[in-house]
Structure formats: C-alpha cells, structure tokens
Amino acid sequence: MDALEYRQFEKIRLKHHPALSERWVQDRIEEDPAILGLGDVILKDKERVQPGAGRLDLLLQDGDTDRRYEVEIQLGATDESHIIRTIEYWDIERKRYPQYDHTAVIVAEDVTSRFLNVIGLFNGFIPLVAIQMNALKHENVVSLVFTTVLDQMTLGLDDEDEEAEVTDRAYWEKKATPETVKWADQLLGMIHSFDPGFEFKYNKYYIGLTKDGQTNNFVTFRPQKNAVRIEVRLHRSQELETRIEDEGLDILDFNRWGKYRIRLAQGDLEQHKDFIQELLIQAHHEAM
C-alpha cells in the first residue's frame, strides 16, 4: 500500500473571492448533492421561484422517501435575513406540497454561536438543519467541506398522541390485506418471545403497542398491500444502518421521530427472522 502524503490546505473565504460565487457553490452541489451530507438526495430544482418571495436556492429530495429539503446558501456568516428567508421558503413549499415531508436547510460559511442559539429556538417546531461550509485550497485545487452543526431535532412523538383515532383489525385488513396484517401478528409473536405483555392498539395511521394499558411504541406497524412497514425506535448509528443494509432489508430512512423505517416484503420475516428479532429486542431495551 502506497504511503499517504500529507498536504496542508488553505482555508479561503468565498464571500470576498473574485471568482468563486454562490452560483459556483450551487453548481458544485448540483453535480453531487450528496456532498451536503443529507443522504442519498437528488436535485429537484435550482433558483426555484417563490410567489412574491424571491427564489429558493436549491430544492432537494430524498431518492427513496417523500422527504424534501429547502436549501438556502449564504456566503459569509448567517444573519437575520438568511434565517427568515430560509424559513419563509420552507413554509411556502410545505403549504404548496403537503404530501412531502419538508426540512429547511441553512448553509453558510460561518454559523455563529449567536445564530445557532436563535436557530435552536425554532428547532423542534420547525424542522431545520444548519450546515457550515468551508472552502479549502491547495495550489489550483479548491474543495468544499460541509459539516452539520445543528441537526434536525426529534419532534414530539406523534405515534403516542393520546388523541390518535382508534380503529380495529377489520379496518387494517381492508386498508392493507388480511395476509399482511398476519405478518404484523408474526412480529408481535417475536415481541412476545421476550415480553409477552404487549398487545396491538389499532390506530388510523399505524398499529401501535400497549402494555398494561400504557402506550409503548418502541416499534409501530403499517401493513400495506404487499408489505408491512415497521418503524423501530433506535439510537441512530452508521454501524447499525450498515448492518441493516448488509442483511438485505429495505431500509427507507431514519425519520424525524427517531425511528428507522424498514419495509418487509414477502419472505423477509422467515429469511431475516433472527436479525429482525434482534432489532426488536434492542429497541425494547432502549425504551425501558
């Protein structure tokens, strides 16, 4: 193996650079949206016109889910107008396209502690991510490094809302199929192997869990026509995500409520039974 060569890169400020502009940064992100660190995202639009409110720098969408990111880029330090503009564009997009899950993203060369505090006041109410951008130069080579300094916080746990509309098994057999509801039964059987006290609670948007009359949704279930989607509450880690992918399971995303969404198709419960049970045991342990 060849020895690695150390080179020192010079940090440059884009705001005052004669050739490297905000449009240049947009072009680099357009070439490879993954450099922002938001996952496997694709560019949906650039300089997107907002009715009566200017243009949104970038609109990105997760390749596998309905999550969209409204991205505003600021050369130099964050300021009040940058924050307001980002939130305004996020609000316009989520109202125009409510079928998507929207997140506001602020990208700046300097995300100051003062404005981190201000942004932090919104986080938890407005899904918002702050990313610091550094431009590094060596000879005639320039690179961009993006570092998330404020991640989207976990919001209130909607699946534990006491006002959730209660349904029954027949509702889910009609909404999905009797067969995929039985797949959910098999998953409940796995849970009973290490904690037999849990029962299903049928809600309008998911099947949750109760024990001794108390809600404990360390995992929820959404039977579909040809699959059952489970949402397992676990601490997020790259190691765990790699294990899920290596196992061959269809992992959709890690959602804002702190859960991994995994789609289980026909045969998955038999083929991956031991691993799925391991995930359920781990989530149960973390919830206790």
Residues 166, 87 share a domain = no
255 vs 29, which has greater pLDDT? 29
Check whether 14 has a pLDDT greater than 80: yes
Helix (H) / strand (E) element for 33: namely none
Owning domain of residue 131: 10-150
233 vs 213: CA distance, rounded Å? 20
Better-predicted residue by pLDDT, 144 or 257:
144
Q: What is the pLDDT of residues 48-64, one digit of tens each?
A: 998 877 899 999 998 76
Looking at 150, 174, 209, which one is the last position of a domain?
Answer: 150
> What is the Cβ-side half-sphere exposure of residue 210, based on CA atoms within 13 angstroms?
10
Residues contacting 19, CB < 8 A, separation 6+: none
What is 71-123 written as a DSSP string? EEEEEEE--HHHHHHHHHHHHHHHHH-TTSEEEEEEEEEE--HHHHHHHHHHT
Residues 145 and 175 in one domain: no
Domain match, 243 and 208 both: yes
Provide the number of structural domains found in the chain. Answer: 2
Of 150, 168, 190, which closes a domain?
A: 150
Q: What pLDDT score does 40 carry?
A: 82
pLDDT band at residue 26 using 50, 70 and 90 as cut-offs? very high
Specify if 1 maps to a domain.
no
User: Are the CB atoms for 171 and 202 separated by under 8 Å?
Assistant: yes
Mean residue pLDDT of the chain comes to: 86
In a domain, 90, yes or no: yes
What's the pLDDT tens digit per position in 80-92?
888 889 999 999 9
| Dihedral (CA of 176, 180, 182, 187) sign | negative
Mark whether 268 and 176 lie in a shared domain. Answer: yes
pLDDT (mean) for 164-170: 86
In a domain, 2, yes or no: no
pLDDT score, position 274: 95
Tell me which of 150, 167, 182 is where a domain ends.
150
Amino acid at 216: N
What whole-number distance in Å separates Cα of residue 82 and Cα of residue 73?
8
